[in-house]
Structure 1
Amino acid sequence: MKLFKYIITGVLGMQLLTSCVDYLDKESDTELTLPMVFEDKTRTEGWLANVYSHVPDPYWGYARKLGWDILSDDMTASERWRQWDWKVIPMLLGEWTPSTDWDGNYWSRLPQLIREANIFIENVHPLPDQGISATEVTYMKAEMRFMIAYYYYLLSNTYGPVPFKPNYIAPTDFNLADLMEGQRPYYEVVDWVDKELKEVAEILPAKYTEARKYGRATSIMCLAVRARMLLFAASPLVNGNPDYANHKNKDGENLFSTTADKTKWAYAAQACKELIDAAEAAGHKLYTEKNDDGTIDPFMSYQNLFLTRYDEGNTEILFARPGGSEYGEYEKHATPAASGGSGGLGVTQSLVDAFFMENGLPINDDNSEYVEIGYSVSDETRDNTVWDTEVNGGTISKKNTYNMYCHREPRFYITVSYNNSYFTQEKRVFNFFNGSADNPHTHDAPQNGYLIRKKISPDLNVKQGTYKYRPGIVYRLGEAYLNYAEALNESDPGNGDILVYLNKIRERAGIRQYTTGATDDNFIHVDLNDQAEMRKLIRAERRVELSCEGIRYDDLRRWKEAENVLNGDFYGMNFSGKDNSSFYVRTPYLKRVYKKAYYWFPIHQSEIDKNDKLVQSPYWN
């Protein structure tokens, strides 16, 4: 391996540049200075690309490395995979301390990338002979400002209050003590990110015409991150939470707001609407596929939303991960072991229960027609889709399917693989009974009777190593609609836009929409002025529409519901069942532990030991 020597401003920069060797490659007897880097187009663009490297991976990142989907109550991984260093699995069981390592490593890595972005801003300049114009430099500097703000958002979203010096680069004669900063209050970071993203949105274009810039920062991405952050900042966890009244930094400052401020909901609603208006003006819309008669096919629309590229017409994407995602491992772990996969990445029973019935009602509604005992007596088909014939073996659900899974809404079938559902890869139904090919009763098997189907390509073939490219969607318009509906309901109950944007999601989902009028075959009556009822409906819609997209865990945190939802036994079908009577029994498979401390990641003990100006995250001491 070649040796590299870098001369830069500050010792920390030396550490940072070691992550950039691919584009700073030099012969071992030469020295590469910062001016030399930024006199070369390839190295300049390589530096910029590296700053993007910690944008979360919506597939394998949320499933394993960051673990947001596993930490929530959406997805479940085989508990015995911990022997292969799945670091989030012990966390589920309460085996979590300030000395626990986490693959996300935000506390260490994101400040390094923030510093790289600041160095880029200070040093980049036009290279007209190499095709970098002054306009391009303006855009690239704005991109780096976006990334700095985005990474501060991720830090504050994970740890709460963090050390905060956004434009600081250590000088060459720095003293180590100068770098030892304490935390600043949570809202100080949020307020700065808010203003910064608004300013940068005025500089960046809404979209690019060059394919090579796919995933690069846009004005829409700025507004999207801002809206999501402000929704979190308005929520009970951080908006006057009395649990944090005594959480102060070493200077005695309160690190969280001690008084609830309802105007934060109105500000979040405004930010969400600004995003929606700007996105729609730029041509973004919900992704749909149509039947021959012009109606929406809800099955194909929801399935292919996650498999269709932006340049193929999927303009619902507002923020995609540049460089793609690690979807191969995601799909492999959702494929049975006998079919070449690892077969233990599933969904929870609570998510199965959350999906609506075909008539748009939740399963616990007296009029839902939900049945949990017995089996279907015929194949189920529907006339609003081609998904059954083109993807699912000719049916929505097969004869002899457990009634729990029959006559559910379209998103259920796109999200969940259950026993006797269709396995497209091998053109057969799944058999999750103990001892079957799909359940060898090992760690590589569905521990609770389910595998994840959402974001899995029907063209997948793990045995042959066939994986179809798809975008890594970090933020989409569907989330923006639901964020706006929630913020409006909290700030302006009864506002008609609440139903407008909630119903846009339900229309695409192929289920009855809500109305203030009478219930009929197309609509369900709701009391729009009943804030508590609407809150329940909005949260229920978020649960299914945004499931397994890295969002649910933050929802449970910000609503202060994680302690209630993520504690105790998690259920599924009986992993050991060998026939209908023994398999179709709600059975505990995992006992989760969620303490009050877990709402925020702890600062790793090694960082606390190095810096006496830090205070540990709430309740971790």
Structure 2
Amino acid sequence: MKKYMLSGLTALIMVLVLNSCKKYLDVVPDNVATIDNAFTMRSQAEKFLFTCYSYIPREGNVYEDPAMLGGDELWQAVGLGGTYPNIARGFQNLVNPYGDNWETYYRALRDCNIFLENIDKVPDLKETEKRRWIGEVKFLKAYYHYYMVRMYGPIPLVKKNLPVDATVSQVQVFRAPVDSCFNYITELLDEAIPSLPESIDNPTRELGRVTQLIALSVKAKVLVTAASPLFNGNTDQASLKNSNGTQLFSIEESKEKWDNAAKACKIAIDKAHELGLKLYKYQPDFQQFELSDTIVTQLSIRNAITQKWNSEVIWGNTQVNTSDLQALVTPFLDPRYLDQTATKGLHSPTLKMAELFYSQHGVPISEDPTWDYAGRYKLRTAIAKEKKYIRESDVTAALNYDREPRFYADLGFDSGIWYGQGKYDDSKDKELFALEAKYREAQGAGKAGYSTFTGYYVKKLVHFQNVVTQTGYSVTSYPWTVIRLADLYLLYAEALNEFSGPSPEVHTYIDKVRERAGLNTVQASWTQYSTNPDKFNSLIGMRNIIHQERLIELAFEGQRFWDLRRWKEASKELNSTITGWDISQSNTAAYYVPKAIFNQTFNVKDYFWPIKESNITVNRNLKQNLGW
């Protein structure tokens, strides 16, 4: 029986365990767990292929994805469970790090290597299919390395598994310099791409499997990450060196990395266009009534996420159950059925996220002289022209008025219109569904079960056709979108701007995203409505615009957590007070007072996960991340 060994990246005392026979998710018959049996025929090898897929991170799952609750865009009450709120609250530790996936992903890499080393043994596998499978596993191997680099920074690379008779010195591996990590990841992707299919021929069985476009898009994200300040010329990490003196971060910034990233983004975009992908715009399947432009724009924004396999989705993760996610963020839409419904409204957008979105003129609310930024917490009564966003005659904070369409598409709030619960027909002055979120109101706090913790709900992640009924919650589920075209457009604009400054091409791709969101171009918006009308003409000014555009467009999609880190802006954004409205108040004036929830802190050490102390103890060649 042939044996393989994990490359010494976890405890030495685990070596024999990790090299012993194991069952690979039923890849071998009769529980006889040998590598040879796993590759005796196509059907068994395919099961091993799916084992390699099974480690893909379940992004969008609030209990497994640190990007959902580990930052500052969603918050929940203390005591409601989960790992990642502890990261958001600054409770990370060395002994048992929250969200630690070090051993999981090295196990994944070990399985990927076993597959690549044995796939040639399968006798009944067509050559074309074998090439595809090899391409898929090389992609997965690249992706698992990439995910770990984002978490831990420089890591030991696992190019091949070590044999069982490896010496102690072979097992006690070093971390590779971060540039070497990114180079190896890119090399794997370049090897994988030619072998992958352009599209999925059998959607019923294969949606979610890797294609050329997915791999090209991941390569674009990898190279943008490598070019970003966290990894490109990060002087904060200058003292991080292996015990043999190898420096793990280059402290010299390289503009060429941005050029390489821009080229990779453009190749991925061109492939997406060639395959017919485009920014999603809502088109009703049937026209029972006339929809206003307001609702069409709202549903275009929301359905870019919640409409399964729409024209914008590049990579959807079929392993994530978004029905559960939707139940966790949906308010009690019909309080008559509190005992029956599975909705909780558990994870609430913070007040800073509500302030992030632009004014109706498409510029930051602090830059728009026509928008009363100083008076944003004052009360205001909704009038007839605003009834598609806020219920007419209701009183709510000025912060909720005169905002861009994404504000209303993404956020639910007291007196705000919620397109859903079977009510999205605004023809003939029909009444639309509005939330009532003050204390003891229909969707407010103070009753059995959960409610908003900040005064806001996530509308963006909830399909508009979901309905709370007497017997439960009717949910339209969708695969979690890992990468979509708008993300790629904004990455391209960012990389181009960082390499050579603002240009017509930079404007073209950011303006495509803004147009779908119902906004004018950057140039028109800033020229007409910003106190800094020339902002878009400088590299730094356009950088700030692109950053805010990404944070708005991709809000609540698990991107902010990683973007703030790679930009090295987390030390600013995550060192502030988390606030919300005073949800314990039923009086309108008392409710709309910002209330401090938690004083968040973030230090330089928090940019990377600590390596678990026990792993450092048994392999002294693993240098711990700075500050831990």
Evaluate the alpha carbon distance shift between residue 35 and residue 446 of structure 1 in structure 2; reply closer, same or farther with a 3 A threshold.
Answer: same
Alignment-derived partner of residue 4 in structure 1: none
Q: Does 1:112 align with 2:120?
A: no
Evaluate the alpha carbon distance shift between residue 477 and residue 172 of structure 1 in structure 2; reply closer, same or farther with a 3 A threshold.
Answer: same
Count of paired positions: 585
Q: Does 1:254 align with 2:260?
A: no
Alignment-derived partner of residue 10 in structure 2: none
Q: How does 1:350-499 map to 2 (within 5 A)?
A: 350-370=352-372, 372=376, 373-380=378-385, 395-399=388-392, 400-402=394-396, 403-423=398-418, 424-425=420-421, 428-441=433-446, 444-461=450-467, 464-499=472-507
DSSP-derived class of the 1:273 partner: helix
Instruction: State how far apart, in whole Å, the 2-side matches of 1:280 and 1:447 are.
Output: 41
Letter in structure 2 aligned against 1:469: S
Q: Are the counterparts in 2 of residues 603 and 616 from structure 1 also a CA contact under 8 Å?
A: yes
Instruction: State how far apart, in whole Å, the 2-side matches of 1:294 and 1:577 are.
Output: 35
Evaluate the alpha carbon distance shift between residue 368 and residue 179 of structure 1 in structure 2; reply closer, same or farther with a 3 A threshold.
Answer: farther
Alignment-derived partner of residue 387 in structure 1: none
String of CA shifts for 1:447-493, please: whole Å, max 9, x gaps: 21112111212233466243222121111110111011111111111
Unaligned stretches of 5+ in structure 2? 7-15, 285-289, 333-337, 424-432
Letter in structure 1 aligned against 2:58: D
DSSP-derived class of the 2:129 partner: helix
DSSP-derived class of the 1:47 partner: helix
Out of 509, 513, 521, the position equivalent to 2:521 is: 513
Q: Are the counterparts in 1 of residues 76 and 347 from structure 2 also a CA contact under 8 Å?
A: yes
Q: Are the counterparts in 1 of residues 278 and 311 from structure 2 also a CA contact under 8 Å?
A: yes
CA RMSD of aligned residues (A): 2.8
DSSP-derived class of the 2:79 partner: helix
Alignment-derived partner of residue 215 in structure 1: 208
Letter in structure 2 aligned against 1:49: F
Alignment-derived partner of residue 536 in structure 1: 544
Out of 598, 602, 610, the position equivalent to 2:610 is: 602
Q: Are the counterparts in 1 of residues 40 and 123 from structure 2 also a CA contact under 8 Å?
A: no
Instruction: State how far apart, in whole Å, the 2-side matches of 1:585 and 1:546 are.
Output: 28
Following superposition, the deviation at residue 417 of structure 1 comes to 1.2
Following superposition, the deviation at residue 516 of structure 1 comes to 6.9
Evaluate the alpha carbon distance shift between residue 422 and residue 529 of structure 1 in structure 2; reply closer, same or farther with a 3 A threshold.
Answer: closer
TM-score (norm 1): 0.88
Instruction: State how far apart, in whole Å, the 2-side matches of 1:440 and 1:495 are.
Output: 49
Q: Does 1:554 align with 2:562?
A: yes
Instruction: State how far apart, in whole Å, the 2-side matches of 1:134 and 1:14 are.
Output: 35
Out of 591, 597, 614, the position equivalent to 1:589 is: 597
Q: How does 1:36-75 map to 2 (within 5 A)?
A: 36-60=37-61, 63-75=62-74
DSSP-derived class of the 2:482 partner: strand
Alignment-derived partner of residue 151 in structure 2: 158
Instruction: State how far apart, in whole Å, the 2-side matches of 1:368 and 1:206 are.
Output: 49
Evaluate the alpha carbon distance shift between residue 520 and residue 236 of structure 1 in structure 2; reply closer, same or farther with a 3 A threshold.
Answer: closer
Q: Are the counterparts in 2 of residues 44 and 124 from structure 1 also a CA contact under 8 Å?
A: yes
Q: Are the counterparts in 1 of residues 536 and 545 from structure 2 also a CA contact under 8 Å?
A: no
Letter in structure 1 aligned against 2:30: E
Following superposition, the deviation at residue 19 of structure 1 comes to 7.7
Letter in structure 2 aligned against 1:411: R
Q: Does 1:237 align with 2:230?
A: yes
Following superposition, the deviation at residue 598 of structure 1 comes to 0.3
Instruction: State how far apart, in whole Å, the 1-side matches of 2:20 and 2:395 are.
Output: 57
Letter in structure 1 aligned against 2:66: G
Instruction: State how far apart, in whole Å, the 2-side matches of 1:583 and 1:17 are.
Output: 60
Q: Does 1:144 align with 2:150?
A: no
Q: Does 1:315 align with 2:311?
A: yes
Q: How does 1:256-335 map to 2 (within 5 A)?
A: 256-290=249-283, 297-310=296-309, 314-321=310-317, 323-335=318-330
Evaluate the alpha carbon distance shift between residue 410 and residue 54 of structure 1 in structure 2; reply closer, same or farther with a 3 A threshold.
Answer: farther
Following superposition, the deviation at residue 426 of structure 1 comes to 8.1
Q: Are the counterparts in 2 of residues 493 and 528 from structure 1 also a CA contact under 8 Å?
A: no
String of CA shifts for 1:558-603, please: whole Å, max 9, x gaps: 2211111101311111122221011111111111121110000110
Alignment-derived partner of residue 384 in structure 1: none
DSSP-derived class of the 1:79 partner: coil
Instruction: State how far apart, in whole Å, the 2-side matches of 1:216 and 1:18 are.
Output: 28
Out of 24, 27, 33, the position equivalent to 1:24 is: 27
Q: How does 1:136-215 map to 2 (within 5 A)?
A: 136-166=129-159, 168-175=160-167, 177-211=169-203, 212-215=205-208
Following superposition, the deviation at residue 72 of structure 1 comes to 2.5
DSSP-derived class of the 1:475 partner: strand
Q: Which moved more, 1:188-197 or 1:47-56?
A: 47-56
Letter in structure 2 aligned against 1:97: N
Letter in structure 2 aligned against 1:430: L
Q: Are the counterparts in 2 of residues 357 and 368 from structure 1 also a CA contact under 8 Å?
A: no
Unaligned stretches of 5+ in structure 1? 1-6, 382-393
Letter in structure 1 aligned against 2:607: Y
Instruction: State how far apart, in whole Å, the 2-side matches of 1:210 and 1:464 are.
Output: 33
Letter in structure 1 aligned against 2:162: A
Following superposition, the deviation at residue 525 of structure 1 comes to 6.3
Identity %: 27
Following superposition, the deviation at residue 615 of structure 1 comes to 0.8
Following superposition, the deviation at residue 374 of structure 1 comes to 2.4
String of CA shifts for 1:186-241, please: whole Å, max 9, x gaps: 11010111122123212212212111221111111221111112112112222112
Runs of at least 4 residues off by over 6 Å: 16-19, 291-296
Q: Are the counterparts in 2 of residues 223 and 275 from structure 1 also a CA contact under 8 Å?
A: yes
Following superposition, the deviation at residue 408 of structure 1 comes to 1.9
DSSP-derived class of the 1:343 partner: coil
String of CA shifts for 1:69-100, please: whole Å, max 9, x gaps: 3223222222222xx3x122222222222123
Q: Are the counterparts in 2 of residues 519 and 525 from structure 1 also a CA contact under 8 Å?
A: yes
Alignment-derived partner of residue 78 in structure 2: 79
Alignment-derived partner of residue 389 in structure 1: none
DSSP-derived class of the 1:478 partner: helix
Evaluate the alpha carbon distance shift between residue 330 and residue 176 of structure 1 in structure 2; reply closer, same or farther with a 3 A threshold.
Answer: farther
Q: Are the counterparts in 2 of residues 514 and 525 from structure 1 also a CA contact under 8 Å?
A: no
Instruction: State how far apart, in whole Å, the 2-side matches of 1:97 and 1:238 are.
Output: 23
Following superposition, the deviation at residue 439 of structure 1 comes to 3.4
Letter in structure 2 aligned against 1:182: F
Letter in structure 2 aligned against 1:349: L
Evaluate the alpha carbon distance shift between residue 243 and residue 517 of structure 1 in structure 2; reply closer, same or farther with a 3 A threshold.
Answer: closer
Out of 3, 9, 17, the position equivalent to 2:3 is: 9
Evaluate the alpha carbon distance shift between residue 270 and residue 19 of structure 1 in structure 2; reply closer, same or farther with a 3 A threshold.
Answer: farther
TM-score (norm 2): 0.87
Instruction: State how far apart, in whole Å, the 2-side matches of 1:18 and 1:77 are.
Output: 42
Instruction: State how far apart, in whole Å, the 1-side matches of 2:382 and 2:408 are.
Output: 19
Q: Are the counterparts in 2 of residues 447 and 589 from structure 1 also a CA contact under 8 Å?
A: no
String of CA shifts for 1:116-173, please: whole Å, max 9, x gaps: 11111122248686xx42100110011101111111111111100111132x122243
Q: Are the counterparts in 1 of residues 507 and 522 from structure 2 also a CA contact under 8 Å?
A: yes
Alignment-derived partner of residue 500 in structure 1: 508
Evaluate the alpha carbon distance shift between residue 153 and residue 90 of structure 1 in structure 2; reply closer, same or farther with a 3 A threshold.
Answer: same
Following superposition, the deviation at residue 529 of structure 1 comes to 3.0
